[in-house]
Amino acid sequence: MKNLFRLILLMGLFIYSQQVSAQKSHGTLYKPTANAEEDITKLLSQAKEEGKHLILQVGGNWCGWCYKFQNFVQQDSTIKTIVDDNYLVYHLNYSKENKNVHLLKQYEFPQRLGFPVFVILDANGKRIHTQDSWMLESGDGYDEKKVAHFFKSWTVLAIDPETYETEE
């Protein structure tokens, strides 16, 4: 029984150290003191100029899966290209220091789905999709095909009605 307890304790410490290591090597994703509303307004203006959508990745520096997703996107060249070509990304903080409740209310309470959760806004700030991240997972990470499909499905071009035949 002592050995089992030690094993569980060691596994917990290992997982914690991996999360801390990921945070240190990639910086802090979420900024609890940021003026998120102001930041989002600026990014929407930039998205309009660049013909892109804005993705809000809602989570916190406490969220291991948030860092796991960030690392996954940065390390997968196919997905990174899809994101870079079609989106601007903002890490919207949700933590005890700042839950950004007014914004999350505006975006119809995406935190109900867990973290990270992704909210896609068009360049005018209209919420066009909210994505539960567990649907993009596979095992203890993210699935390349699922994530690529998610990002491709919500590009400006993908939802442009002019790209579809409307006459029968």
What is the per-residue pLDDT across 45-81, written as a single tens digit (0 to 9) for each? 999 999 999 999 999 999 999 999 999 999 999 999 9
- Look at residue 25 in the predicted model and tell me its pLDDT: 45
- Look at residue 5 in the predicted model and tell me its pLDDT: 62
pLDDT tens profile 115-162: 999 999 999 999 999 999 999 999 999 999 999 999 999 999 999 998
Count: domains in the chain: 1
**Is 66 within a domain?**
yes
Q: Can you tell me the distance from the alpha carbon of 67 to that of 61, in angstroms, rounded to the nearest whole number?
A: 8
Q: Can you tell me the distance from the alpha carbon of 53 to that of 76, in angstroms, rounded to the nearest whole number?
A: 20
Would the pLDDT of 15 be above 80? no
Q: Can you tell me the distance from the alpha carbon of 55 to that of 120, in angstroms, rounded to the nearest whole number?
A: 5
Which residues, other chains included, contact 124 with Cβ-Cβ below 8 Å and sequence gap of 6+?
Answer: 44, 48
User: What CATH number does the domain containing 141 carry?
Assistant: 3.40.30.10
Determine how many CB atoms are found less than 10 A away from the CB of residue 109. Answer: 12
Give, as one character, the DSSP assignment of residue 164.
Answer: S
**Is 11 within a domain?**
no
Q: Can you tell me the distance from the alpha carbon of 98 to that of 81, in angstroms, rounded to the nearest whole number?
A: 31
91 vs 19, more confident: 91
**Is 8 within a domain?**
no
Would the pLDDT of 23 be above 70? no
- Look at residue 35 in the predicted model and tell me its pLDDT: 98
Contact 125, 107 (CB under 8 A): no
**Is 134 within a domain?**
yes
The backbone torsions φ and ψ at residue 58, rounded to the nearest 5 degrees and listed phi first, read -90, 130
Residue 56 is part of which domain span? 28-159
Q: Can you tell me the distance from the alpha carbon of 97 to that of 92, in angstroms, rounded to the nearest whole number?
A: 13
Quote the pTM value: 0.83
**Is 7 within a domain?**
no
The greatest distance separating any two alpha carbons of the chain, rounded to the nearest whole angstrom, comes to 71
Would the pLDDT of 19 be above 60? no
**Is 147 within a domain?**
yes
**Is 133 within a domain?**
yes
**Is 58 within a domain?**
yes
